[in-house]
Every structure is written in structure tokens, then in C-alpha cells.
């Protein structure tokens, strides 16, 4: 359960990042890899976690807990400044909505619609395989 909770929180927080600016510009600007730098959410994704938003509406979450790494996938949809994120974890899916407070080339700030917590991200370059 703890694993699922972190994954869902991560997607929600990262999903919020998608909504920075309204319309198709937000969808274009959110594409890429983002790293959590700061969060007020108590049970959310820790700093250092990353989320990748793809142009086809898919996302990938990577969170490290000690020496264990958790990866999950899902999808997202942007509607104005709202982002709806659906995360798949161990055969279960969870959908959440968030609001983007700020989205620039290198920085993203999102706010959870349920508890009001905020999460800050910085854009990172995708590592080549």
C-alpha cells in the first residue's frame, strides 16, 4: 500500500506540472523530464523523484526509497490549468486532479486540488540510454 500511495502521490504532483499555462502551450511546455525539488505534501513523492511527460499524453514516474527504486506509468490530460493524471500501480488505477501555479522553461509549481499541498520541480535533461 505504501508503494502505491507514493506512486499515486507522485503522479498527482507531477501531473500538476502539466497544467502550468493554459491550452496547447501547456501541453507542449510540460513535455520532458521533471525532478521534485521541494514539496509540502507529507505523504507525497520525495525530492529527487522524477516524472516524464510525453507528447502523446503518457507519463513515467521514478521514485527511489533507500536502495529500492519504484517505477510506474500512466497518462495525463490537460484542460486549461487543470491536469488529470491516471496512475497504474499493481493492476490498480487512480485518477487525481491538480492545478498548475507556475510553468516556465525550467521550473514547475503545482498544487494538489484535494489537500492544497504544493510541489516544485526543475526540468532535467533526459539521460541517454
Residue 129 forms part of a structural domain = no
pLDDT reading at 17 higher than 50? no
Residue 71 forms part of a structural domain = yes
User: What is the domain count for the chain?
Assistant: 1
Q: With bands split at pLDDT 50, 70 and 90, how would you rate the model's confidence at 128?
A: low
Domain containing residue 56: CATH number: 2.40.128.280
Q: With bands split at pLDDT 50, 70 and 90, how would you rate the model's confidence at 36?
A: very high
Q: What is the mean pLDDT of residues 3-23?
A: 50
CA–CA dist 102, 6 (Å, integer): 23
pLDDT reading at 8 higher than 60? no
User: Which of the pair, 72 or 23, is modelled with greater confidence?
Assistant: 72
Percentage, residues of the chain above pLDDT 90: 51
Q: With bands split at pLDDT 50, 70 and 90, how would you rate the model's confidence at 9?
A: low
CA–CA dist 71, 63 (Å, integer): 6
In contact, 53 and 41? CB cutoff 8 Å: no
In contact, 59 and 93? CB cutoff 8 Å: no
Residue 11 forms part of a structural domain = yes
Amino acid at each position: 500500500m505504501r508503494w502505491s500511495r507514493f506512486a499515486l502521490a507522485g503522479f498527482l504532483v507531477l501531473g500538476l506540472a502539466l497544467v502550468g499555462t493554459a491550452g496547447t502551450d501547456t501541453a507542449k511546455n510540460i513535455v520532458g523530464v521533471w525532478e521534485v525539488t521541494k514539496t509540502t505534501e507529507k505523504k507525497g513523492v520525495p525530492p529527487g523523484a522524477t516524472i516524464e511527460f510525453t507528447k502523446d499524453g503518457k507519463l513515467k514516474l521514478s521514485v527511489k526509497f533507500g536502495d529500492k527504486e519504484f517505477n510506474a506509468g500512466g497518462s495525463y490530460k490537460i484542460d486549461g490549468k487543470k491536469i488529470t493524471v491516471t496512475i497504474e500501480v499493481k493492476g490498480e488505477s487512480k485518477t487525481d486532479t491538480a492545478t498548475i501555479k507556475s510553468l516556465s522553461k525550467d521550473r514547475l509549481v503545482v498544487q494538489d486540488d484535494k489537500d492544497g499541498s504544493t510541489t516544485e520541480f526543475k526540468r532535467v535533461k533526459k539521460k541517454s540510454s
